[in-house]
Amino acid sequence: MPNKVRKAVFPVGGLGTRFLPATKAMPKEMLPVVDKPLIQYAVEEARAAGIEEFIFVTGRGKTTIEDHFDHSYELESVLNERNKQSLLKELQASVPKPGSIAYIRQQEPLGLGHAVWCAKRLVGDEPFAVILADDLILADTPCLAQMAAAREQAGGGNMLAVMEVPKAHTSRYGILSPGKETDNLIEITGLVEKPAPEKAPSNMAVIGRYILEPTIFSLLEKQQRGAGNEIQLTDALSEMLGDVPFYGMKFDGTRYDCGDKIGFLEANIAFALHRTDMQDDMRDIVKKIANNL
């Protein structure tokens, strides 16, 4: 039986330049989809997969994330006075248990690989998940829970969430070389970060959900800068190929790139259409706008 995955790392140290000016003074992970910040969806997804410890790799200007996952006594007492009990309960339930949440600062945004490496001591010697909050996934079974179940069946190792992308977009993602494919699992035989379409080994892209063996840390430690002059997680991962079971999982669900303005707008519409309390109104609005185009 592979070790259970108990810890998740949330790298939130990026600058979010694709979403300026919104992200000038506000972390992109705090952008709300409908009424909830992206980072809260990510934490809820982790909880649903059985994660018990939440490790945030933060950077400058990210303190609102810490405040979001803490009690706000003033607000809670006002909600109590105004008898808004269900809202109060909802807010209190979103605060992780004392001692289960930790923050470590990535002093320079040197890339995703470097951000994950910063969590080394907090993760220790056990498998862990990585969730990129700006990749938001709408799914019946949360994506990380799908991956944890698939990883148990595969006997442990690395499990990455993957999806098909248009060939013209391969230079935006880590792209895999596919080996044997069974049901929704693809054995990964190669990985390359942001290849040009003519050099891409496939159009299967890695998106922001990973379950990783802790041996990644020693590889990240000596990782040189790669694509975009950043320390890339993909480069360290490709050095683990052949050493551990290594799979990509074609998850059930739809992924929205909320680090990108169009992806973020699409996510808001899709999530609102999915919510029973607003889908009727939202459908009317979308129809009205479409009819006026």
Which residues would be at the binding site for ligand UTP (CB under 6 A)? 11-19, 57, 106, 109-112, 114-115, 132-134, 259
For ligand UTP, give the closer residue by CB, 133 or 216: 133
For residue 2, the minimal CB distance to ligand UTP (Å) is 26
User: For residues 54 and 131, is the Cβ–Cβ distance under 8 A?
Assistant: no
Secondary structure element (H or E) that encloses residue 8, with its range: strand 7-11
Q: Which amino acid is at 77?
A: S
User: For residues 222 and 167, is the Cβ–Cβ distance under 8 A?
Assistant: no
For residue 26, the minimal CB distance to ligand UTP (Å) is 13
Strand partners, 216: none
Instruction: Give residue number: closest CB to ligand UTP.
Output: 14
Among 11, 23, 100, 131, residue whose Cα is nearest residue 59? 11
For residue 13, the minimal CB distance to ligand UTP (Å) is 3
For residue 219, the minimal CB distance to ligand UTP (Å) is 17
For ligand UTP, give the closer residue by CB, 132 or 282: 132
Residue 192 CB contacts under 8 Å (≥ 6 apart), including other chains = 174, 175, 177, 199, 200, 201, 234, 238
Secondary structure element (H or E) that encloses residue 40, with its range: helix 38-48
For ligand UTP, give the closer residue by CB, 12 or 212: 12
For ligand UTP, give the closer residue by CB, 111 or 142: 111
Q: Which amino acid is at 270?
A: A
User: For residues 190 and 238, is the Cβ–Cβ distance under 8 A?
Assistant: yes
For residue 189, the minimal CB distance to ligand UTP (Å) is 24
Strands (E), 124-203: 128-131, 135-138, 158-164, 174-182, 185-193
For ligand UTP, give the closer residue by CB, 38 or 185: 38
Cis peptide upstream of residue 166 (ω within 30 degrees of 0)? no
For residue 28, the minimal CB distance to ligand UTP (Å) is 6
Q: How far is CA 166 from CA 170, 178, 203, 211, in A?
A: 7, 16, 7, 25
For residue 82, the minimal CB distance to ligand UTP (Å) is 36
The one-character DSSP state at 18 is: G
For ligand UTP, give the closer residue by CB, 19 or 271: 19
**Backbone phi, then psi, for 202, in 5-degree steps?**
-165, -175
For ligand UTP, give the closer residue by CB, 20 or 289: 20
